Amino acid sequence: MAVTVTPLSGALGARIEGLNLRHLPHGDDLAALRRAFLDYQMVVFPGQKISAGDQIAFCELFGAADSDYKAPPQENDDYRKGVMLVSNVRKNGVPIGNLPDGDMQFHSDGAHRDSPYLATTLYAIRVPSEGGDTLFANLYAAYDALDDATKARIEGLRVHNAYILDATSRDEEAREGGTLREAEHPLVRRHSETGRKALYVNRLMSRYIVGLDEAERARLLDELIDQVERPEFIYAHKWTEGDFLMWDNRCVNHARTDFPAEETRLLRRYTISEAVSAAA
Protein backbone atom coordinates (compact mmCIF):
# COMPACT_ATOMS: atom_id res chain seq x y z
CA MET A 1 0.00 0.00 0.00
CA ALA A 2 1.34 3.42 -0.97
CA VAL A 3 2.14 5.92 1.77
CA THR A 4 -0.27 8.86 1.82
CA VAL A 5 0.24 12.15 3.63
CA THR A 6 -2.87 14.22 4.39
CA PRO A 7 -2.66 17.64 6.09
CA LEU A 8 -4.69 17.86 9.30
CA SER A 9 -5.21 21.59 9.72
CA GLY A 10 -4.08 25.02 8.59
CA ALA A 11 -1.79 25.20 11.62
CA LEU A 12 0.34 22.08 11.37
CA GLY A 13 0.13 18.29 11.36
CA ALA A 14 -0.40 15.53 8.81
CA ARG A 15 -1.88 12.05 8.88
CA ILE A 16 0.30 9.34 7.39
CA GLU A 17 -1.35 6.17 6.17
CA GLY A 18 -0.05 3.07 4.45
CA LEU A 19 2.60 2.14 7.02
CA ASN A 20 2.54 -0.61 9.62
CA LEU A 21 5.06 0.53 12.22
CA ARG A 22 5.65 -2.99 13.46
CA HIS A 23 7.99 -3.02 10.46
CA LEU A 24 10.57 -0.28 10.14
CA PRO A 25 9.99 1.97 7.12
CA HIS A 26 12.87 2.28 4.67
CA GLY A 27 13.71 3.63 1.20
CA ASP A 28 11.06 5.88 -0.37
CA ASP A 29 8.64 5.35 2.52
CA LEU A 30 11.18 6.54 5.07
CA ALA A 31 12.12 9.49 2.86
CA ALA A 32 8.43 10.48 2.54
CA LEU A 33 8.01 10.22 6.28
CA ARG A 34 11.08 12.35 7.03
CA ARG A 35 9.85 14.97 4.54
CA ALA A 36 6.36 15.01 6.11
CA PHE A 37 7.85 15.33 9.61
CA LEU A 38 9.86 18.40 8.58
CA ASP A 39 7.07 19.94 6.48
CA TYR A 40 4.16 19.35 8.86
CA GLN A 41 6.04 19.35 12.21
CA MET A 42 3.72 16.72 13.69
CA VAL A 43 2.65 13.46 12.10
CA VAL A 44 -0.06 10.97 13.10
CA PHE A 45 -0.02 7.31 12.14
CA PRO A 46 -3.52 6.00 12.90
CA GLY A 47 -4.45 2.37 13.57
CA GLN A 48 -1.09 1.14 14.83
CA LYS A 49 -0.52 -1.83 17.12
CA ILE A 50 3.04 -1.44 18.35
CA SER A 51 5.08 -2.66 21.29
CA ALA A 52 7.50 -0.51 23.27
CA GLY A 53 10.27 -2.22 21.29
CA ASP A 54 8.67 -1.19 17.98
CA GLN A 55 8.36 2.39 19.22
CA ILE A 56 12.00 2.50 20.31
CA ALA A 57 13.22 1.02 17.01
CA PHE A 58 11.19 3.57 15.05
CA CYS A 59 12.57 6.45 17.13
CA GLU A 60 16.12 5.25 16.58
CA LEU A 61 15.66 6.04 12.86
CA PHE A 62 15.63 9.72 13.87
CA GLY A 63 18.14 9.96 16.72
CA ALA A 64 19.24 8.61 20.05
CA ALA A 65 17.03 7.70 22.98
CA ASP A 66 17.31 10.22 25.76
CA SER A 67 15.06 10.78 28.73
CA ASP A 68 15.09 11.94 32.32
CA TYR A 69 12.32 9.51 33.02
CA LYS A 70 12.94 6.02 34.22
CA ALA A 71 10.33 3.46 33.31
CA PRO A 72 8.42 2.32 36.36
CA PRO A 73 8.71 -1.43 36.98
CA GLN A 74 6.55 -3.20 34.42
CA GLU A 75 5.49 -6.78 34.07
CA ASN A 76 6.04 -8.89 30.95
CA ASP A 77 7.28 -6.28 28.59
CA ASP A 78 10.32 -4.76 27.00
CA TYR A 79 10.30 -1.39 28.71
CA ARG A 80 13.68 0.08 29.36
CA LYS A 81 15.17 3.44 30.27
CA GLY A 82 13.63 6.23 28.26
CA VAL A 83 10.17 4.79 27.91
CA MET A 84 7.60 6.71 29.91
CA LEU A 85 3.96 5.98 30.46
CA VAL A 86 1.73 9.05 30.49
CA SER A 87 -1.18 7.77 32.49
CA ASN A 88 -3.67 8.35 35.29
CA VAL A 89 -3.78 4.60 36.01
CA ARG A 90 -2.75 3.85 39.56
CA LYS A 91 -1.62 0.66 41.24
CA ASN A 92 -2.12 0.70 45.01
CA GLY A 93 -2.77 4.43 44.73
CA VAL A 94 0.54 5.15 42.97
CA PRO A 95 0.54 6.31 39.31
CA ILE A 96 2.10 3.70 37.03
CA GLY A 97 3.66 6.48 34.95
CA ASN A 98 4.04 10.26 34.76
CA LEU A 99 1.94 13.37 34.12
CA PRO A 100 -1.15 11.54 35.34
CA ASP A 101 -3.97 14.03 35.80
CA GLY A 102 -5.76 16.96 34.26
CA ASP A 103 -4.65 19.59 31.84
CA MET A 104 -1.11 20.69 31.08
CA GLN A 105 0.23 24.05 29.91
CA PHE A 106 2.04 24.57 26.62
CA HIS A 107 5.70 23.56 26.61
CA SER A 108 8.42 22.08 24.43
CA ASP A 109 9.90 18.83 25.74
CA GLY A 110 13.39 19.30 27.12
CA ALA A 111 13.45 23.12 26.90
CA HIS A 112 14.63 23.06 30.52
CA ARG A 113 17.70 21.01 29.52
CA ASP A 114 20.88 22.16 27.79
CA SER A 115 20.11 19.53 25.17
CA PRO A 116 16.37 19.66 24.41
CA TYR A 117 14.61 16.69 22.86
CA LEU A 118 14.53 16.77 19.09
CA ALA A 119 11.22 14.94 18.93
CA THR A 120 8.67 13.19 21.11
CA THR A 121 6.51 10.21 20.25
CA LEU A 122 3.27 9.22 21.96
CA TYR A 123 1.31 6.04 21.34
CA ALA A 124 -2.32 5.86 22.49
CA ILE A 125 -3.18 2.64 24.33
CA ARG A 126 -6.33 3.80 26.16
CA VAL A 127 -8.03 7.16 25.77
CA PRO A 128 -10.95 8.80 27.61
CA SER A 129 -14.31 9.30 25.88
CA GLU A 130 -13.82 13.07 26.00
CA GLY A 131 -11.00 15.53 26.70
CA GLY A 132 -7.35 14.67 27.14
CA ASP A 133 -6.67 16.17 23.71
CA THR A 134 -3.08 17.10 22.94
CA LEU A 135 -2.75 20.59 21.45
CA PHE A 136 0.12 21.46 19.13
CA ALA A 137 1.28 25.02 18.38
CA ASN A 138 3.31 26.01 15.34
CA LEU A 139 6.30 28.09 16.52
CA TYR A 140 7.44 28.94 12.97
CA ALA A 141 4.08 30.55 12.26
CA ALA A 142 4.20 32.39 15.60
CA TYR A 143 7.61 33.84 14.69
CA ASP A 144 6.67 34.66 11.09
CA ALA A 145 3.58 36.59 12.27
CA LEU A 146 5.58 38.98 14.49
CA ASP A 147 6.02 42.51 13.20
CA ASP A 148 9.47 43.50 11.95
CA ALA A 149 10.18 45.70 14.98
CA THR A 150 9.55 42.81 17.39
CA LYS A 151 11.63 40.44 15.26
CA ALA A 152 14.52 42.91 15.39
CA ARG A 153 14.07 43.45 19.14
CA ILE A 154 14.21 39.75 20.05
CA GLU A 155 16.94 38.64 17.64
CA GLY A 156 19.92 37.41 19.67
CA LEU A 157 18.03 37.35 23.01
CA ARG A 158 17.99 34.27 25.20
CA VAL A 159 15.23 32.80 27.31
CA HIS A 160 15.72 31.19 30.72
CA ASN A 161 13.62 28.04 31.17
CA ALA A 162 13.03 26.05 34.35
CA TYR A 163 10.97 22.96 35.11
CA ILE A 164 10.28 20.54 37.93
CA LEU A 165 9.78 17.05 36.55
CA ASP A 166 6.10 16.13 36.27
CA ALA A 167 4.79 19.69 36.75
CA THR A 168 1.82 20.48 34.54
CA SER A 169 1.50 24.19 35.29
CA ARG A 170 3.60 27.20 36.26
CA ASP A 171 1.85 27.27 39.67
CA GLU A 172 3.83 24.18 40.62
CA GLU A 173 7.05 26.19 40.49
CA ALA A 174 6.87 26.55 44.25
CA ARG A 175 6.31 22.84 44.82
CA GLU A 176 8.72 21.39 47.30
CA GLY A 177 10.59 18.18 46.83
CA GLY A 178 11.03 18.29 43.06
CA THR A 179 14.31 18.95 41.30
CA LEU A 180 14.25 22.19 39.33
CA ARG A 181 16.19 21.88 36.06
CA GLU A 182 17.17 25.09 34.26
CA ALA A 183 18.63 26.03 30.88
CA GLU A 184 18.96 29.01 28.56
CA HIS A 185 18.22 28.93 24.84
CA PRO A 186 17.90 31.40 21.97
CA LEU A 187 14.45 32.97 21.95
CA VAL A 188 14.55 32.82 18.17
CA ARG A 189 15.63 29.31 17.47
CA ARG A 190 16.89 28.33 14.05
CA HIS A 191 15.78 24.81 13.18
CA SER A 192 18.79 22.55 12.76
CA GLU A 193 17.42 20.92 9.56
CA THR A 194 15.00 23.34 7.87
CA GLY A 195 16.91 26.51 8.81
CA ARG A 196 13.58 28.23 9.61
CA LYS A 197 13.19 30.46 12.66
CA ALA A 198 10.85 29.44 15.49
CA LEU A 199 9.70 31.48 18.50
CA TYR A 200 11.09 29.21 21.22
CA VAL A 201 9.18 30.23 24.32
CA ASN A 202 6.50 28.50 26.37
CA ARG A 203 4.14 29.15 29.27
CA LEU A 204 5.12 26.15 31.42
CA MET A 205 8.87 26.58 31.46
CA SER A 206 9.97 30.03 30.24
CA ARG A 207 10.74 32.24 33.26
CA TYR A 208 12.48 35.33 31.92
CA ILE A 209 14.36 36.84 29.02
CA VAL A 210 18.02 37.21 29.83
CA GLY A 211 19.59 40.67 29.99
CA LEU A 212 16.48 42.87 30.05
CA ASP A 213 15.32 44.80 33.10
CA GLU A 214 12.61 43.16 35.15
CA ALA A 215 9.62 45.18 33.93
CA GLU A 216 10.60 44.94 30.27
CA ARG A 217 11.41 41.26 30.35
CA ALA A 218 8.10 40.41 32.04
CA ARG A 219 6.15 42.46 29.49
CA LEU A 220 7.98 40.98 26.53
CA LEU A 221 7.74 37.42 27.84
CA ASP A 222 3.96 37.72 28.37
CA GLU A 223 3.58 39.16 24.88
CA LEU A 224 5.56 36.34 23.27
CA ILE A 225 3.85 33.59 25.26
CA ASP A 226 0.48 34.94 24.13
CA GLN A 227 1.81 35.04 20.57
CA VAL A 228 2.74 31.31 20.53
CA GLU A 229 -0.72 30.41 21.87
CA ARG A 230 -2.77 32.25 19.25
CA PRO A 231 -5.60 29.89 18.17
CA GLU A 232 -4.72 30.06 14.49
CA PHE A 233 -1.34 28.41 15.20
CA ILE A 234 -2.88 25.49 17.11
CA TYR A 235 -4.09 22.05 16.10
CA ALA A 236 -6.01 19.99 18.71
CA HIS A 237 -5.52 16.25 18.39
CA LYS A 238 -8.43 14.12 19.55
CA TRP A 239 -6.95 10.74 20.27
CA THR A 240 -8.14 7.40 18.97
CA GLU A 241 -6.61 4.26 20.42
CA GLY A 242 -3.85 3.06 18.12
CA ASP A 243 -2.75 6.58 17.14
CA PHE A 244 1.02 7.02 17.09
CA LEU A 245 2.22 10.64 17.00
CA MET A 246 5.62 12.17 16.51
CA TRP A 247 6.28 15.91 16.81
CA ASP A 248 9.25 18.18 16.37
CA ASN A 249 10.13 19.98 19.62
CA ARG A 250 12.36 22.41 17.71
CA CYS A 251 9.34 24.15 16.21
CA VAL A 252 6.27 22.88 18.12
CA ASN A 253 4.86 23.48 21.61
CA HIS A 254 2.25 21.13 23.01
CA ALA A 255 -0.29 21.13 25.83
CA ARG A 256 -3.09 18.90 27.11
CA THR A 257 -6.76 19.51 27.88
CA ASP A 258 -8.47 18.20 31.01
CA PHE A 259 -10.30 14.87 30.98
CA PRO A 260 -12.61 12.93 33.34
CA ALA A 261 -10.55 11.62 36.27
CA GLU A 262 -12.63 8.44 36.44
CA GLU A 263 -11.73 7.43 32.89
CA THR A 264 -8.47 5.78 31.84
CA ARG A 265 -5.84 7.59 29.79
CA LEU A 266 -2.75 5.56 28.94
CA LEU A 267 -0.13 6.59 26.41
CA ARG A 268 3.42 5.44 25.87
CA ARG A 269 5.99 8.19 25.37
CA TYR A 270 9.48 7.99 24.00
CA THR A 271 11.76 10.92 23.21
CA ILE A 272 14.54 11.39 20.69
CA SER A 273 17.51 13.56 21.60
CA GLU A 274 19.26 16.40 19.88
CA ALA A 275 22.93 17.20 20.47
CA VAL A 276 23.72 20.41 22.39
CA SER A 277 25.45 21.93 19.38
CA ALA A 278 22.35 21.58 17.22
CA ALA A 279 20.08 23.31 19.73
CA ALA A 280 21.43 26.83 19.31
Per CB under 6 A, 104 contacts ligand SIN: yes
102/186 with CB nearer ligand SIN: 102
Residues 196-255 close enough to bind ligand SIN by CB under 6 A: 254
Task: Give how far Cα 156 sits from Cα of 72, 196, 210, 219, Å.
Answer: 41, 15, 10, 18
Q: How far is the CB of 178 from ligand SIN (least distance, A)?
A: 16
Does residue 99 interact with ligand SIN by CB under 6 A? Answer: yes
Could you tell me the CA-to-CA distances from 12 to 100, 231, 241, 259 in Å, in that order? Answer: 26, 12, 21, 23
Q: Which is nearer to ligand SIN, 17 or 101 (CB)?
A: 101
Per CB under 6 A, the list member of 134, 138, 206, 253 interacting with ligand SIN is 134
Please give the Cα distance from 46 to 184 (Å, whole number).
36
Work out how close the CB of 84 gets to ligand SIN at its nearest, in angstroms, rounded to a whole number.
8
> How many whole angstroms separate alpha carbon 280 and alpha carbon 274?
11
Is 243 within 8 Å of 45 (Cβ atoms)? Answer: yes
For ligand SIN, how many residues bind (rule: CB under 6 A)? 7
Q: From the CB of 55, what's the least distance to ligand SIN, in Å?
A: 14
| Least gap, CB of 274 to ligand SIN (angstroms) | 16
12 belongs to the binding site for ligand SIN (CB under 6 A): no
Q: Does 83 bind ligand SIN (CB under 6 A)?
A: no
Specify the length of the chain in residues.
Answer: 280
Instruction: Look at residues 220, 250, 273, 236 and name the one whose alpha carbon lies nearest to residue 63.
Output: 273
Among residues 87, 137, 104, the alpha carbon closest in space to that of 248 is found at 137
Pick the closer one to ligand SIN by CB: 99 or 111.
99
Q: Which residues sit at the interface with ligand SIN, rule CB under 6 A? A: 86, 99, 104, 134, 254, 256, 269
